[in-house]
Structure 1
Amino acid sequence: MSRALSFYESKISKYEEKIKDLNKVITKLSTLRLIIVIMAILSAYYFYKRESIVLLILSIVMFTAIFIVVAYYHNKKIQEKKEYKVYININSNGIARIKGTFKEKEDKGEEFLRDEHPFASDLDIFGRNSLFQMINSTKTKFGRNKLSQMLNLKTIPNREEILKKQEAINELGEKVEWRQRLEVKSTIKKSGTKDINELLEWANGKSEIKPLFKVVPYLFIAITMISIVLVILKVLPISYIILVFMINYLVVKILTKDLVQIIKLFDKHKKDIEAYTNLLTLIDSENFDSVLLKELKNKLYSSENKSCVDEMKALKRLVDWLGDSSSNAYYLLLNVTVLSDTFILRNLEEWRRLNGDKIEQWLNIMGELEALSSVSNLSFDFDKWTYPKISTSDVVEGINVGHPMVGEKAIVNSFTLKDDAKVALITGSNMSGKSTFLRTIGLNLLLSYIGAPTCSKSFTCGIFSIYTCMRTKDNLEESISSFYAEILRIKILIEAAKNGEKVFFLLDEIFKGTNSKDRHEGAQVLINQLVKNNAMGLVSTHDLELCDLEKTKKWIKNYNFQEYYEKNNIKFDYKLREGRSTTQNAVHLMKLAGIEFNDK
């Protein structure tokens, strides 16, 4: 059993036991709450019947206090139980990654699918049974966006950037308990993927402290305090205080006319702010050794070495006050006495002036840590995978390379494309593994560029822009046939190569929508053109005549997959071999479908 599998299973057992113990405590506390309510009712009734008003009030106060304490601990235990359930789910997801059974996860990242992307659709980066579905453990909008940008290779990193990411991901892989806490804190508060653009718009808005805020609140507070003293001294009647309170309430409403919208805004995002504060606190409190993680953490501090955590906690306290102001009676008394809403609004404006332009940066850094943590799941879960060597040469070479998402069933192959060899031509019969192998190479290249370990014993690659043409389909809305859709993707690939991009292409059964003569000629011309523009790649084909290019073009290298038969049943070993294919199975498969070749 692997280290990761053993870890996840032991954690699940541990948290299941904790939940069993908590269930007993929660049941006892529920019963105790009911007993307290019954005793409070009986006690109140008893003292009411005996007209003992003082004892009646004391009993109500006492039982209320006891009930609040018990309810606090009861809710705390329920919260603990929720956290343990989240931990169980996180560790179950880890087991699913290892065993390749992650397909049932609900979050597939389908909103990031773009047909026009150079490789995402063909390599299963998003959607069902995708790389995103496999590794994603982000819970915030910022984390999801950062992870999608990483997997989309929005920008091609250089060698130094990749090595820094490798170091960071390797470190985060070992911090598995810290990563799980990060995930739990964001899950419990349910910040999720909610759009917080309106909160960011407020933060980036113009902050302006009105001159009236600097004078008027203090003036009315002074009048209120003097009035209270005069009433206590019986200089003024008590009704005067009520009049002062009414005037104060009117002044607060005039000065804070915009507060209602702000209360609605922060009430909507209260849990988001709390979750973000918790996540940033976890990041700030953790010690990192890798260069990239240190750099990210340092960006959470101002030039005065002040942590964003302190600022986010200050915002959270203000938001909590806003919540109180809209729902609590005691706050109304505070408001008409010291005009507290005016100070909250002033403090919010001051917070915005100091931090409004920084909050999005803080949250993006938080998201980047979430994204890196998601990728580091691979580092911890698959300890036999290896970090690739990033070469300055045009090379793709792997020993025992497997498809990263197949799990324990992955068949591994060794492969080399370097020096004079620029194109690997993959031939073989139907279902023998050609398309899967193309995706295997493409996915391991992507993992290399995002700093992750690869599904291999060793993997070496240069830095390329990945382009694929594998799953072309009709688009009825735009009246595009599958053949023309394929032509459009090839056009994008050619333009990229002509524009100087260092292209690595993966072409699966190119030009399959036309006749064999045009297909052969088109494929031959295309491959020549791509190589002239310094591109490298793999081409799978049933056109065995293309293999003859190896005789005249030293940059072509032939590989093949084969099938074999047992008791008239077709079998595959999915092993890559050098040379051209010598077997075909199309006729056999047609016969299995019931086509009788003896009939003329």
Structure 2
Amino acid sequence: MASPTRSQQLQRLITRINGLITHGTKTSSLYTKWRFGLFLTGLVCTIAFYKSDWYHAGNLSLAGFAAVFFVVAAYHSRLERRIHRLGLWQSIKRVHLARTELDWSNIPERPPVEATSHLFAGDLDLTGRHSLLHLIDSTVSDQGRERLISWLLIQPPSSAAWDVRRVLCKELASRPLFRDRLVLEARLAGEQEINGKRLAAVLEHPVGFPRLTMIIAMQSVLALTTAVLGVAALLNWLPGYWMFSFALYALIYFQTDQGEELLEHAVGLHHEMERLGTVLAFIERHARRKGSALAAACASLLQPGTRPSQYVRRAARALHAISIKAHPLVHLAVNALCPWDLWFTRQLDQIQRDIRRQLPVWLDRLAEIEAASALATFAYLHPAYIWPVSSQSPGLSASHLGHPLIAPGVRVTNEVQLSGRGTIQLITGSNMSGKSTFLRTIGINLCLAQAGAPVCADRFIWSWSRPACCIRVNDSLDAGLSFFYAEVKRLKAILDETRRENVSPVLFLIDEIFKGTNNRERLIGSRAYIKSLSTGNGFGLVSTHDLELTDLDKEIPSLTNAHFQETVAAGALAFDYRLRPGPCPTTNALRIMALEGLPVPGYGADS
């Protein structure tokens, strides 16, 4: 019997969780009835005992029923929290299932990323709706998402950074419980993503005022003096001199009181810190296994005196102390005895300074783990994908290479072989035969490989490369660019990249070169451009409809021809999307026109 696929495993798990939620909901309803019944029974029994003048029995009844009621209420609350956790856990698994099935409507969509001028982001569908980022982004903070985006868009990385990243991704791929609980802890702390910029802004808010330490010392001395003089007055040792020191103490207090602003700021700081601290504390607990990649990535979080959980507890204690401002009478009484607000204002200021110093390290480590976790989840959800192998020789070789954004049931795979600088594969083929998708397949898998993720292939060996694409180019009314001029500027940028020496070679992917101009000038320009590419620091593919360009293999030894083609069956075009060697032997533009009812000489309705 074949082992279940990842989708089937997730379906079974979701069904099981749903059963637990259903059972828990029924039990919760039962607890609600028990609580109501206990309340009514206790009320009736207690009143009955009191009316019968059995006060002792009434007191025992009230205490007994209240104790049982609170025990049942505690268990009920615990059950409700568990149901809530199960609901969040189920939603995480549902999103995983949606990712495996490319069910875009059930994959959460984050704010769009602006990458219009990027050399390959838009061409390869790395960002935007229904993109690679949309598919793999499971981060819980804005810094984590930015780190993941940088891994996809800033390529290639340094070899040392990639090695560390790759080891971490592989380790986390085998720890699905850790990855999903990381998301769960963040969701339990709040629905909004963790925002480091917002926390940094809160930390920049000034707390206290000039000469705070001196004022605290003065108020402490005045409070102590008032207490001593007050005791002396009570014992009739001295007259009521305490009133003078207390009056001065009260005057300074009212001059320095920050009102509700201090409480609001402390609550805001605690709220932001609690969410970040919850996630970091979870990572702390699971990163203590010596020798693991996770422990190495979190080393700066585990040093004594710098652990985020310690700072969260300090901030919580300061908030709880300051929160007596919410109770005016208690607040006034406590501050009449000692400079309570000033003590904890100073403590809060020191906490902010310490957190501000540590925050960049915390956010950096969290972002690294989140981005690696997102790629690890992608690997876990696609067990058939392989981890690519880097090579020192310029080029790219892959077998059964497929597009990860195309469902497995309709995905067609192909072979790729590019060896050495100057290598060019000229792709010809009919309209809709798969040329553009093939170029994107190569590019998106290269970006996955260099980000540290697995790729959709049976074999993938590549050298560090700088992707550069001209596949999806748009005109710009704002910038005054026609489609052709925008295409020329993009091609010029690619050519300039191939002129850079002492850096990784360019992997160029150019679709339908110079398609924005007439046939004669396109042929002249394309020949000159492809010849120039063959002498630069790069390798790649160029697709075209101009079959006249296929004879360039006689002038450029490093150029080879390959093609996609179609078949005609029952008056309709059919495509197998398979790459074949050599120039394309067929064309189909006129046939497509005829099939759509346009007047085309030589093509009748049945031809």
TM-score relative to the length of structure 1: 0.88
Q: CA deviation at 1:101?
A: 2.0
**One-letter code aligned to 2:27:** V
Say whether 1:218 aligns with 2:220.
Answer: yes
Residue of structure 2 equivalent to 1:18: 20
Q: Is the 8 A contact 2:421 2:536 kept in 1?
A: no
Q: 1:68: how far off?
A: 5.8
Structure 1 residue ranges without an equivalent (≥5): none
Task: Give the 3 Å change call, closer, same or farther, for CA 589–187 of structure 1 in structure 2.
Answer: same
What is the DSSP-based 3-state SS (H/G/I as helix, E as strand, rest coil) of the residue aligned with 2:397? strand
> Contact 2:143–2:196 at 8 Å: present in 1 too?
no
Query: Which stretch shows the higher mean deviation, 14-23 or 62-71?
Result: 62-71
Q: Within 1, Cα distance between the matches of 2:376 and 2:455?
A: 12
Report the more deviating stretch, 66-75 or 352-361. 66-75
Letter in 1 for 2:406: V
Measure, in 2, the Cα distance between the counterparts of 1:138 and 1:119.
23
Partners of 2:219 and 2:63 in 1: how far apart?
36
Aligned to 1:119: 120
1:301 to 1:395, Cα distance in 2 relative to 1, 3 A: same
Shift of 1:100: 2.2
Aligned to 1:348: 348
Structure 1 residues 3, 530: CA separation in 2 closer, same or farther (over 3 Å shift)? same
Deviation at 1:2, TM superposition (A): 4.6
Please give the alpha-carbon distance, in whole angstroms, between the structure 2 residues aligned to 1:256 and 1:84. Answer: 46
Please tell me whether residue 560 in structure 1 is matched to residue 560 in structure 2.
no
Tell me the C-alpha RMSD between the 2 structures.
3.7
| SS class of match (1:459) | strand
Distance in 2 between residues matched to 1:380 and 1:416, nearest whole Å: 28
Identity %: 27
The Cα shift of 1:29 comes to: 3.1
CA distance in 2, matches of 1:499, 1:402: 31
**d(CA) in 2 for partners of 1:23 and 1:332?**
46
Structure-2 change in CA distance of 1:594 and 1:319 (3 Å): farther
Instruction: Give the direction of change, closer, same or farther, for the CA distance of 1:33–1:422 in structure 2 (3 Å limit).
Output: same
Q: Give the C-alpha shift of residue 311 in structure 1.
A: 2.1
Say if 2:109 and 2:134, in contact at 8 Å, map to a contact too.
yes
Partner of 2:6: 4
Q: Which residue of 2 aligns with 1:431?
A: 432
Bigger mean CA deviation after superposition, 391-400 or 318-327:
318-327
Separation (CA, whole Å) in 2 of partners of 1:474 and 1:47: 87
TM superposition shift of 1:326: 3.2
Contact kept? 1:103, 1:134, Cα under 8 Å: no
Aligned CA distance change for structure 1 residues 377 and 199 (closer, same or farther; 3 Å): closer
Residue 396 of structure 1: CA displacement?
A: 0.7
Please tell me whether the aligned partners of residues 45 and 61 of structure 2 are also in contact (alpha carbons under 8 angstroms): yes
User: Whole-Å Cα distance in 2 between the matches of residues 50 and 229 of structure 1?
Assistant: 51
Pairwise CA distance, 1:488: 2.1
Question: Taking structure 1 as reference, are residues 214 and 30 closer, same or farther at Cα in structure 2, changes over 3 Å only?
Answer: same
Q: 1:450 is aligned with what amino acid?
A: A
Task: State the alpha-carbon separation in 2 of the partners of residues 115 and 381 from structure 1.
Answer: 30
Whether the 8 Å CA contact 1:166–1:452 is kept in 2: the answer is yes
1:384 corresponding residue in structure 2: 384
Per-residue deviation, 1:426: 1.2
Paired letter, 2:183: E
Tell me, in whole angstroms, the C-alpha distance in 2 between the residues paired with 1:4 and 1:220: 70
Which whole-Å deviations, capped at 9, do the CAs of 1:12-55 have from their partners, x for residues lacking one?
Answer: 12321221122123223333444466567768977998999999
The total of aligned residue pairs comes to 594
Name the CA shift for 1:539/1:60 in 2 (closer, same or farther; >3 Å). farther
Pairwise CA distance, 1:543 = 1.2
C-alpha displacement at 1:135, in angstroms? 0.9
1:511 aligns with 2:536: no
Query: Structure 1: how far apart are the matches of 2:512 and 2:464?
Result: 25
> Structure 1: which amino acid aligns with 2:369?
L
What is the distance in 1 between the residues matched to 2:104 and 2:551?
Answer: 42
Cα distance in 1 for partners of 2:494, 2:578 equals 29
For residues 210 and 523 of structure 1, do their structure 2 counterparts lie closer, same or farther at Cα, with a shift above 3 Å needed? same
Letter in 1 for 2:365: I
Kept in 1, the 8 Å contact 2:216–2:343? The answer is no
Which segment is superposed worse, 25-34 or 513-522? 25-34
Greater CA deviation, 574-583 or 31-40? Answer: 31-40
- Cα offset, 1:567, TM superposition: 1.2
**Aligned partners of 2:373, 2:559: CA distance in 1, in Å?**
40
The Cα shift of 1:203 comes to: 3.4
TM normalised by structure 2 equals 0.87
Q: Which residue of 2 aligns with 1:285?
A: 285
